[in-house]
Structure formats: structure tokens, C-alpha cells
Structure 1
Amino acid sequence: MSSAIQTPKLIFSHRPYWAECFGTASYLPTSREEMDALGWDSCDIIIVTGDAYVDHPSFGMAVIGRVLEAQGFRVGIIAQPDWQSAEPFKALGQPNLFFGVASGNMDSMINRYTADRRLRHDDAYTPGNEGGKRPDRAVIVYSQRCREAYKDTPIIIGSIEASLRRIAHYDYWSDKVRRSVLLDSRADLLLYGNAERAIIDVAHRLGRGDSIDSIRDLRGTAFVTRDVPSGWTVIDSSSVDQLGKVDPITSPYVDTSATESCKKNEENPDAEAAVEAVQAVRIIDPLQARKAGTDAAKTVIRLPDYEVVKNDPVNYAHAARVLHLETNPGNARALIQRHGDQEVWLNPPPIPLSTEELDWVFERPFQRKPHPIYGEAKIPAYEMIRFSVNIMRGCFGGCSFCSITEHEGRIIQSRSHESIVKEVEKIRDMTPEFTGVISDLGGPTANMWRLNCKSTEIESRCRRLSCVYPSICKSLNTDQTPLIDLYRDVRELKGVKKVLIASGLRYDLAIETPEYVKELVTHHVGGYLKIAPEHSEEGPLSKMMKPDMSSYNKFKAMFDKYSKLAGKEQYLIPYFIAAHPGTSDKDMMNLAMWLKGNSFRADQVQAFYPSPMANATAMYYSGKNPLKKVSRTSEDVVSAKGLKQRRLHKALLRYHDPEGWPSIREALLSMGRKDLIGYGKKHLVPPRQPVNWTPKHGKGRRILTQHTGLPPRKTK
């Protein structure tokens, strides 16, 4: 339990575990037969995952497995086990050290259900794109089965699913606040973020004989405890955003003059003041605490209890704000949240990997292919990234609807130029199917490689939620010319014909380096470039923490200019979000008019999906804005929650689709905008449906899932 900033030990400098003598496996074993072939009598660590096992650096189980293997541990993989009993979890025997449990690269609920809570019937991380191969809330289910299989074996949970559920969180699918996943899974330890540093430390300490209960000082970990240890200073979370006391509204039809409380107060006028004095909490502002000499390494911030945030949306928004303000590894303090008679303790975020360490991770001996057990079956997620290269981690954009920052951190971790080039050469030399086209050279964001704060001192003190909103920070290095050099060197490699950039482009950053835009447009766009303005109106953009349309217009002008100079006919494909918190029907109407005015017709639209821990999800649930100070009287945020309104917002994005015209016409009439109904260019929709038109979905028909009325799936 420490938040002291220390220079961490390099992740590749640990003394290898004794089992290093067994060497490197071609694939990490998934069966007893494979273990026997390697000469293993047991596994030291078993990773349970909701994805098919693909030995590629874009798949979490492969990265963690290979990193632990390089430390000398024998690592086995149980991929997509049948969770109906504990038997499949015994396939590799009992691990000597621990089970590592993950849902996979995606949150299992987002993988399983659409934004309208409809059941998906496919799964890109499963052979044959087959759905239903992982349970809902996979981390909880897998952990419980591991405990049932071997009750004394430590269980460590991770992946994005666990990472984003480390404290009490709003669960969109059940429409309620759930407690920390640590309690429901009964895991011994939770690792959040990419977690290589933490998982290596945990493995070596358990390998030395330390008990799992003694590991309480690692950054990037969370665990359950009974109380705060002695010597710690507890700062109540209201020291960050002080919440005002709200009295319940009294019915005007009730005579309160004769109530017992009034009689007592009449007899003792100081009684109410005495109660207030007992309930008062001494507020210590973080700045005052630092001035008073509070040791950050021994300071923990108490979040509102689970029972409080479960029943009070304002306190939920407040807790979300505090959490996000404590995400900078340079100044974050530990957090604690009471759940009944237990405490969930979050240590500060992990120290980002250095370039040397990140290179080491990506240069493990990956086969870059699915495990042979899947035969010729196609795994769509692998097919999409098999010829792509991840060049960085993290995102400082801070978009409120996105969870990348909460999972990977705000500080960009970049691989070296040489390591990236080496991986492209490996793709060329190891993959017979390689046609010379690198499908992507990017990461969470295409153009944040090597963009960091100019001052490590400023960076360590910063508490901004975004480095680029509401404007680009003056301390941020925005020079993207090193990326130009990287693109050119990869493009000039023998056997490489084309390098495409498919990762999301931060266009407000791109325009800071016009030479980068020129290089991108001239050589790395395959006819279409997808970018994400997300909206055209200030209201929703301010809640998304996205730039206004002036940045988009500047980028579009550059894109068109350089496309013309290159003699290429290329197009921008803008992405937008429907039903985001803070979006009114009028905002969506204006966006639809912008789309029509710019001749855009969206085939697929994205509706806001309230994922755990995102700031936008806190807005959706609480009706408050955690991007600013939260109080009972602070800014209210309206969200489209009903299915009818969410469908209207999606229909407005697809204004050209007759399926949505009836609801659009109804909305326009209710807004007094009958002038937008007609057949002219200035009109949004025509006054009537096409001849012989029939609805795609039956009238009033509702598709049920477990989260909209269907009974739970039967178990064997």
C-alpha cells in the first residue's frame, strides 16, 4: 500500500525462475499432451481467457503468457472453456502459483450485447465467428469455476473487463450499480491496465514463497481488505468535490408541526445543531494536505461507499470524478471504497513502460498465428490484425465515452523506430500469406507515437483529464515528423508494397504538423480515411471532450489539397455517435442537416454504449457532469435513455433511410420544424413513405434478451 514514485526495476532484469531450463514453447500448451511434449509435469501459471488463443502481440493472453515465459515460468492457456462445470478448468492440472483470469481483449458484455441490449450472434475472437463461446461477465464466472476446481489456488483477475470494474460501477445491462468485481469474483488480486510490470512482480514474489495476501504494495493492483492500516492519512473524497446536504422534500399536505422530531426540537432548540455537528466531516483540501506536509505515499482518498453510490447518483458522479483525477502515475494517491464490512483498496496506477521495456514485450517469440488446435477455422479478429503493427500504447485524448485512458493510461508509451521496423520484417519473413500490404501502423490512436509532455516535472503534477481538450496543452509535444520518418522507412523495406493507416486519427493533432498530413494523404490512405468528429454541435461535443468542427474543417481542407496534389481521388469518412449524454433531439436534427448538406450517408451508425468507468457513463447514470465540480446544484446532463428516443437519434444519423422517416417526421413536428419536411434540398425527410414500403421490423415487435425480459440461459 504505497504510492511513492520510485524508479521501477526493468521488467526484463529479474532473475529468471528456476523453470527457465525448460526453454521456450513453440505455442503455450493448451492440453496435457502438449505439456508432456514439453517435459512439464505441471504449470506454474494458468491463464484462463474468453478469447481463442492466438499467439500474436495483439492478443492479451499471448502477451502476458510470453512475458511470463520469458521470466522462466511454465505458462499454460485455457481458452474459451465450457463454464457449465469446473472440469474444463482442471484440464492442465493445478497451477503451482496462480490462475490468471481474463475475459479476453473485449469486455464480455459488450462482446455479447449491442448498445440496445440485443443479443449478438457472432464473436470475432472465436473460430468461425461463432457466438456464445464465453459467458456473460466472464471474469466472475471463470474465477468462480477456478475456485471450485482448486479452492486453495490464488486467483488474479485482469483484462479490460476487470480493469474497468475495479470499484463500484454502473452496469448498463442490469441498469444498476454493481459492486467491485473483486467481491463478486472472490479473486485475491486485481491487476488493472496492461499489467506486465505488476504480473511479473506478483509471479516472482509468489515463486519465492510469499503469500498472495502479503502482496499489497504493487502499483496497478486492487484488493479487498478489512481496514486502513495504521500510519495512513485518510482524506475524505469530499475534499475534492464537496457535496452539499440535501433534505428530502416534504409533502405540502403533511402537517409537520405535530411530528415527534419537531416536538423534540421545540423542547431542545440546539438538538438539530448537535446532530449536524456529529454528522459533519472535516474537509481537507488536497492542496492544503500537501502544504501541511501530508505524505502522498501514506495518503489514501476515501470514495463514497458502494451503498451510497448505489442509491445516490450525485455521489456516483462525484466518485467518478475523484477516480479520474487520480489517474496520473506521477501524483495519484491510493483510493479506498467501503463495500459493507469490507474495503476495496486501489493502489495508484502503474509506472508506464519505457521504450526499452515495450520493445522487449513486443519482441517475444510470438508465432503470430492461432494455435494449431483451431485447424483451418478463421478467427475474424486475427484476420483483421494479422498484418498490422502496434507502435504505441495509451491515449491522452480523454474522450469521455472511451475507456482507453482508464485502462492503458494517459501517458504515451512508444516503441522504438528500430523495433517497429524489425516487426514488419518479421511479418514479411514469417507469413507466407503476406502480400506486401501492412494493414495498419498504429495503436489506440494513429498519430500519438512519441508525443509526450515536454516537461517531466509538469507531467508529474498535471491533473488535466485531457492534453488536447478544450485546447491543446502548450506543454504537449505535437511534432509528428518522427512518424513521417517511420512511415518512409517501413514503406521502403524490401517486400513491402503499401503501408495503410487504419487506427483512429486524431485530426486536431494532425493539423499541427501539415507535413504529416501530406505524407499520410499521399502514401497511406487506401481511398478512404475514417476519422471521428463524433458530432457537429457544441453541447454533445463538450460532454465528449472533443474539438469543435473548425478542426475538422481545417483537416478536410488539408486532406482535399494533398489528395489533389497527389493526383488521387480520396474521401473522408466521418464517424458520429448517436444518443451520447448531453445530446438533445435538436442537436441530432442539426447533425442530420449537416450530414445532408455535406452529402454524407451513413450506412452504419454507432449509438452511445455506456461502458463501465467511462465519464460519459457517469453522466448517463447520474445526470451530472463529472468533467466539472460535482454538487447537488451543478450542471445537469440529459441523456436519451428510452428505446424510442435512442432509435430516433440513430434514425437522424441515417436520415436517408425510409425506415426512420416516420419517427423523424414526428420529432420534427414536435419541435416545430415542419419546414424540414418536404422533397427539396433544404428538407430533411419527405412527407410520406415510398410506394410499396413496408417496415423491416414487425410493428411493435420487441426482441428479448436476458437484459430486456428473457429468462437466464439454461445450464447443463
Structure 2
Amino acid sequence: MSQDYRLSSWLPTTNKEVKIRGWEELDVILFSGDAYVDHPSFGPAVIGRIIESCGLRIAIVPQPNVNDNLQDFVKLGKPNLFFAVTSGTMDSMVSNYTASKKKRDKDAYTPNGDKGFRPDYATTVYTKILKEKFPDVPVVIGGIEASLRRVTHYDYWSDQLMPNILTTSGADMLIYGMGEQPLRELIALLKKGVPFSSLRTIKQTAYLQSKEDKLQKNKNWEDVEIASHTKCLNDKKTFAGNFKVIEQESNKTFGRRILQEVENDLLVINPPFPTMTEEEIDASFDLPYTRLPHPKYNKRGPIPAFEMIKFSINIHRGCFGGCSFCTISAHQGKFIASRSKESILKEVDTVANMPDFKGYFSDIGGPSANMYQMKGKVQEICDKCVAPSCINPVICSNLDTSHKPLTEIYQAVDRHPKVKKSFIGSGIRYDMLVPEFNKNADPKELEEYTEEVITHHVSGRLKVAPEHTSDPVLKLMRKPSFSNFHQFKNIFDKINIRKKLNLQLIPYFISSHPASELEDMANLAAETKDMGFKLEQVQGFTPTPMTVATVIYYSGYHPYTLKEMKTPKSKKDKEDQHRFFFWYKKENQPWIKKVLKSVGREDLIERLIPKEEEVRRPKRQKFTDKKGKQKEFVSVLKKEKTSFKKRGKRNKR
């Protein structure tokens, strides 16, 4: 830790630290399910610093103990304005459980990865305790857990449809999405003396009121009412139909106010703020973060999530991919908020001058690494758009997909005298680098960006996410045809060979996604095997609130068409689909033969189950030569092993 930092450099976490700042009382107390890392990649730290920048006295209580006498909830007393509550950077259930509902062995946001410091449904648990201890103090909830549970939603871990999190927690207000804009407005109104109970027209907030009470009007807003929570409980198709409205309104430039009856209450979800301007997002990242965990953790071990992003730079927010299994656009929005080049390079300089920086950045990226500064060419067209994705089924003709600003950022970072190399650790949308798919872009620009990334910013392996090989499944996922991955692999191979880089391309895939059949997984295994892959980066589909795929998983209906859809749901179905990823394991091969024979796909048996002579033969990897012809080569390591064996035989003779 730099000696320039004193304890007062962090937000206070104890009464002693409050007094170090010379404060006798607090305006806001923030409770978080994460350990306190004062870094712009950690939501609780951002919220704390925003509140501080508004001139308020703020303290943070990280990972309060809910299993003792609840001392952590009362130790700092009662704030003047409100309590703030977040489960942390992740939904607590995703943080605590795997896709198969098993308890995770580690918590990445806790020192030493220790588990047990974050309760299930943390936002609700913390809020209920605070409302019991301080019933007259307002509680504002936010973060990804609150954001994605702001309306009737399916909870995979309890396997039930749940009402909005305001109902279950008893909180007074919910801030959804990126919280800077609504939080600043909330604080400005409170400082003017507006009573908390009157704060009903702040954008990007939600609250409950009695059905009998008059709804506060805003002349600039239109209202849309969705089916009540009770109707959703009684009819899965009705629940599915709600989601189309929710997703579209959440991703509009000017959304409508959403209303939903929940027993005797009315849930009111105000429209979102417009996408943050460059000036606004810069202001958030330029706050005085120490970029380090609080000193209280010095003897408890490293925090895994911090170690992963310690030397990384986040350059934008949002994602216009709209993947049906992903929550990024539901929380950060589909429009991209990009930082200025000056703000990014200022942070690069700050990190480069940290005492333990060795010259390497682990990531210069965002939710999707290559969406920096991309936006509509004509904003008025975007303002009328209701499409959940800007690049599916095709790239919108109004989307500027130039990669030139991103290439310039990478090169500017690498020109810093203390930077030896910067890597791109975020996921890259490889389909946007395929000229046949990204017809909006200048092919030369795409080529320059792709060569820049592969040549200078890949640490041995480039990870991309085709997710599946089946076109029907990919269509539902809102992902492009797998043919685009073949084209990208050819581009990757040519650069890899021409530059003699010896890099690996690592694709990510998902099993058990809605619409995925066992035969689709068999085809996935065969096609990726034919390409020379033994899959490593694979996962089973995990239903999380606020995604199309989760709505289908629970209801059996597609929310946009209301047509019935199949989804693997039983433990056996999920395990069987996942098993095809590992066709190369001997223990799986008799089962694969049996399954493929039962569905009449003996042709796939020949492709998947290697013959004895193939097992003994060194593994061959496929690549495309300069003339575009498919060829194979035996890896250097395998050649060496073979030559050693031959030498051994000669010596024996």
C-alpha cells in the first residue's frame, strides 16, 4: 500500500474512522455485501464516492454480520437522511451458488475468498434488519440484485415467482441501473428540504404506494400498466407477456413509467435517465479512489475479485448485444456510455505510478471490450427504437461500429513510458470483426483493430463467446450464426501464423439453454472437434432475473411471440447436455454412443469417438493457410515427444 494514503483516505467504516474525519454524525450509511474495495470497478465504492462528492458525510458498513446480535447495524447510529443498501457487485444468489444450486467454495469479493460473509438475498436481509431497528429512517436499495429484481421475477434458487424486491424487503426506494444520475438528483432534492416521502418523480427509481393513493403526475411521462403480480402467479403466459414491455421500456431513450399492482400496493417504476454523457461518466471515474482494499483487510488475505482487476481500466459501460441470457443491458443499458480519452489516460497514469505496478495492464475494456464510443449515427432514429439488440439479427444500419477510436486508445496506453504491455481481458464481440457480418464498418479499420489486438494485446489465449453452434439456439440467444465464428477463426489463424505468435483461440459455450436439444449439443461437440478444439470454457445455463432466457425457462413461453418453447430443466437433462462438451473423456464415450444410436445419429459417433489409431496419433490442429486452404499441423511439443520415443527405441536396439 502506498504511504501517501492515510486511513482517512477511505470512506469511514467505524466510529473511530468517523471521528478521524472530525464528524459527529452521518448523513448516509451504506451497507454492502462486498468487502470494501475503494475502486471504480466496485459498485459500493462508486456509490459511496458519489454521495461524498455531493457534500454528505457517508460511512460504509461492509459485510455486516447477520448471525450475531446485529451490532454492525447499530454501531454507527442513525443517519440524518437515509440508509443505502446493496448486495454488492453481484447478485448474492449468483455469488453464493453454482448453476446446479450447490454452495460455492469461494466468495470472490471477500478477503481470502472466504465464504459465509454474505447472506442469501442480502439486500432483503439487510433492509429488513434496518427497518426493524430504525423504522422511521428511509432505506434506499440499489445495485445489481435490487435492479434486476425490481418487478415480478422468477427466482431460480427458490424455484418460485417472487414479487418486486421493494415488497419483499420493505425498502422505501429502489434505484435501478447505474446509480449516479438518480442518486445525485435524490440528494439535491433532500438538501433543498424536500421530504423523502415526496420524492416520486426521480427518473430511474421505483417505489410502492397504496393502490388507493393518487399517482403523482409528470406531464412528460406516459404510463404503461403491466399484468399484476397475482395474475402472473396464476398464469405463466401472462408473466411472459409482461417481460416484453419491461425490456423494451428499460432500453428506450425515453421510456414510459411502468405500473404493476401487487396485492394492495401499486409498484411504480419511473423511466430511466438518458445514457450518461462523456462528462458525467468521467466525473464518476475521476473521483478520489485509493484503488485499494480498506486497510482493515491487510491481514486477512487478498480479495480475489480485486486481484483480478487491480491493474485494469474500464473505458465504457453498457452493451448493445442484448443477449437473451445476459443481464448487462438490463442493468447498464443497451446504449454505450464512453469515457473521454483524457480521463482514461489520466487513470492509466495513476495506475502506472502505483508502487507495485510492474508494467502490465490486465485489461483495457468494458462489458464488451470492443464497443467503445459506438453509438447511433442519427440519434433521432435511436430515440424511437424499441429493439433490445443493435446487432441482432443483423447490425443496425444506423450504428457506427468504427473500431478506430479503440485502436487509438490501445496505442496511447502502450506509449506510456511505464507500460510494457496492455492486455484485453474483457470479452470481445468477434462477430463485429467479421467484415461479412459488420457491413457498416470499414474493412481496413476492422483489420487494423484485429491485428492490433491479436499482435499486441493477447496473453497467450484469446477468449471469445460463440456460445453455441445451433442456428435456432443462437437465434434465440440473439447471437449470430456460428458461420461467423468460422470466419473469425480464419482471420485469427492467418494473423497467428503470419506473425508466428503461437496463440490459442478459446471459445466459450453454454449448455442447457432454452431451445437447446441433446442433438444440438452432439452437433456442437462434433463441429468444435472438427475445428481442433477440446473445450474448456463451458458452463450450464443459469437462470437469473430480468432475462428473456429466464422467462422462457420458467414459463415455457417466448415473451415476444408467446409461443411455447422447450427448455432442459431436470438435473439429468442438464447433466446430459453438459456431458457432450467432454466427448474426449473415455468414461463418457460409451454413453455418447448409446445416446446417438437411440436418436439415429450414428454419423456423429464416427466424428466424436476417436478410433484407436487416432488416439495414438499426435493431436493435429487445423488452420487456414495464406491461400485460404484448410491444413493441419502437429504441435511442436508432440513432435518432440515422438522424436524422444524414437530415440529411446534406437538406444534399446
Q: 1:427 to 1:383 in 2, by over 3 A?
A: same
Alignment of 1:267-286 (within 5 A): none
Counterpart residue identity of residue 306, structure 2:
Y
1:183 aligns with 2:115: no
Return the alpha-carbon distance in structure 1 between the equivalents of residues 593 and 263 of structure 2.
50
- Of 90, 97, 118, the match for 2:81: 97
Contact 1:193 1:220 in 2 (8 A): yes
CA distance in 1, matches of 2:418, 2:275: 34
Amino acid at match of 2:578: K
Alignment of 1:60-79 (within 5 A): 60-79=43-62
1:426 aligns with 2:379: no
Amino acid at match of 1:320: F
Whether 1:671 and 2:599 are equivalent positions in the alignment is: yes
Q: Trace 1:383-402 onto structure 2 (pairs within 5 A).
A: 383-402=307-326
CA contact (8 A) 2:523 2:604 kept: no
**Residue identity opposite 1:575 in structure 2:** Y
2:634 is equivalent to residue 651 of structure 1: no
Instruction: State how 1:457-476 maps to structure 2 within 5 Å.
Output: 457-476=380-399
- Alignment-derived partner of residue 147 in structure 2: 163
The alignment partner of 1:326 has SS state of helix
- Ranges in structure 1 where 5+ consecutive residues have no aligned partner: 1-22, 234-294, 691-716
What are the within-5 Å matches in structure 2 for residues 122-201 of structure 1?
Answer: 122-201=106-185
AA in 2 matched with 1:73: L
* CA 1:45–1:587: 2 relative to 1, 3 Å: same
The corresponding residue for 1:530 is 463
Percent identity reads 42
Moved more, 169-178 or 323-332: 323-332
Tell me, in whole angstroms, the C-alpha distance in 2 between the residues paired with 1:518 and 1:57. 30
SS, match of residue 297 in structure 1 = coil
**SS of structure 1 residue aligned to 2:418:** coil
Q: Distance in 1 between matches of 2:597 and 2:570?
A: 19
**Residue 366 (1) aligns with residue 328 (2):** no
- CA-to-partner distance for each residue in 1:443-490, whole Å, 9 max, x for gaps? 101000000011110111001110000000000001111111111010
Are 2:493 and 1:569 equivalent residues in the alignment? no
**Contact 1:50/1:79, CA 8 A, preserved across alignment:** yes
Q: 1:594 aligns with which of 498, 523, 527?
A: 527
Residue identity matched to 2:598:
S
**Secondary structure of the residue that 1:349 maps to in structure 2?**
coil
TM superposition shift of 1:619: 0.9
Residue type of the alignment partner of 2:423: L
Q: Is the 8 A contact 1:232 1:300 kept in 2?
A: no
Which letter does structure 2 place at the counterpart of 1:191?
I
Q: What do residues 513-560 of structure 1 show as CA deviations (whole Å, max 9, x unaligned)?
A: 222111111111112100000001111101100000122122212212
Shift of residue 604 of structure 1? 4.5
The AA in structure 2 aligned to 1:55 is: D
1:153-197 CA-partner distances (Å, limit 9, x unpaired):
110000000000000000111111001000111000000001111
1:190-589 superposed matches below 5 A: 190-227=174-211, 297-376=220-299, 377-429=301-353, 431-511=354-434, 512=438, 513-589=446-522
Residue 228 of structure 1 and its aligned partner are, at CA, apart by 7.8
Query: What is the CA-CA distance between 1:212 and the residue it aligns to?
Result: 1.8
**In structure 2, C-alpha distance between the alignment counterparts of 1:337 and 1:192, rounded to whole Å:** 16
String of CA shifts for 1:190-211, please: whole Å, max 9, x gaps: 0000111111111232233322
- 1:329: Cα distance to partner? 4.0
Separation of aligned partners in 2, 1:395 and 1:422: 24
**Match of residue 540 from structure 2:** 607
1:35 aligns with 2:22: no
Cα drift, residue 227 of structure 1: 3.2
Check conservation: 1:501, 1:524, Cα contact below 8 A: yes
- SS at the partner of 2:250? coil
The answer (yes or no) to whether the contact 1:56–1:62 under 8 Å persists in 2 is yes
Q: Which has the higher contact order (CA 8 A, sep 6+)?
A: 1
Q: CA deviation at 1:506?
A: 0.7
Using a 3 Å threshold, how does the CA distance of structure 1 residues 662 and 170 change in structure 2: closer, same or farther? farther
Deviation at residue 491 of structure 1 after TM alignment: 0.5
Partner of residue 647, structure 2: none
The alpha carbon displacement at 1:669 in A equals: 3.0
CA shift in 2, pair 1:24/1:203, >3 Å: farther
Tell me which amino acid in the other structure corresponds to 2:173: L
Following TM superposition, the consecutive aligned residue runs of length 4 or more in structure 1 with deviations greater than 6 angstroms are none
- Structure 2 contact 111–303 (Cα < 8 Å) conserved: yes
The amino acid that maps onto 1:95 is P
Please give the secondary structure, in 1, of the residue aligned with 2:220: helix
Question: Could you list the per-position Cα deviations for residues 210-265 of structure 1 after superposition, in whole angstroms to 9, with x for gaps in the alignment?
Answer: 222211101110000123876899xxxxxxxxxxxxxxxxxxxxxxxxxxxxxxxx
CA distance in structure 1 between the partners assigned to 2:158 and 2:508 by the alignment: 28
| Counterparts in 2 of 1:658 and 1:296: CA distance versus 1, 3 Å | farther
Match of 1:281 in 2: none
Q: Which residue of 1 aligns with 2:609?
A: 684
Say if 1:656 and 1:29 are closer, same or farther in 2 by CA, change over 3 A: same
TM-score by length of 2: 0.88
Distance in 1, matches of 2:594 and 2:243, equals: 37
State the 1:672 CA deviation.
2.2
**Cα distance in 2 for residues equivalent to 1:77 and 1:390:** 23
Please, what is the CA RMSD of the aligned residues?
A: 1.9
Cα distance in 1 for residues equivalent to 2:593 and 2:60: 54
Report if the CA contact (8 A) 2:252-2:385 is conserved.
no
* Amino acid corresponding to residue 232 of structure 2 in structure 1: V
Q: What residue identity is the alignment partner of 1:56?
A: H
Secondary structure in structure 2 of the residue aligned to 1:57: coil
> TM-score w.r.t. structure 1 length?
0.81
Shift, 1:441, TM fit: 0.3
Task: Give the paired residue count.
Answer: 596
Change (3 A) 1:136 1:663: farther
Please give the alpha-carbon distance, in whole angstroms, between the structure 1 residues aligned to 2:198 and 2:7: 30
Q: Which is worse superposed, 557-566 or 472-481? A: 557-566
Shift of 1:674: 4.1
| Pairing of 1:6-85 with structure 2 (within 5 A) | 25-84=8-67, 85=69
In structure 2, give the amino acid aligned to 1:218: I
The secondary structure found in structure 1 opposite 2:372 is: coil
Following superposition, the deviation at residue 659 of structure 1 comes to 4.5
Separation in 1, partners of 2:372, 2:356:
28
Could you say which residue in structure 2 is the equivalent of 1:629? 561
| Residues 86 and 149, structure 1, Cα contact 8 Å, conserved in 2 | no
2:190 partner letter? L
- 1:91-114 CA-to-partner distances (Å, cap 9, x unmatched) read 211111111100000000011111
Q: Distance in 2 between matches of 1:614 and 1:660?
A: 32
Of 96, 100, 116, 1:116 maps to 100
Alpha-carbon offset, residue 637 of structure 1: 1.2
Q: Shift of the alpha carbon at 1:24?
A: 11
C-alpha distance in 2, partners of 1:581/1:569?
36
- Shifted more, 135-144 versus 78-87: the winner is 78-87
| SS in structure 1 of the partner of residue 276 of structure 2 | coil
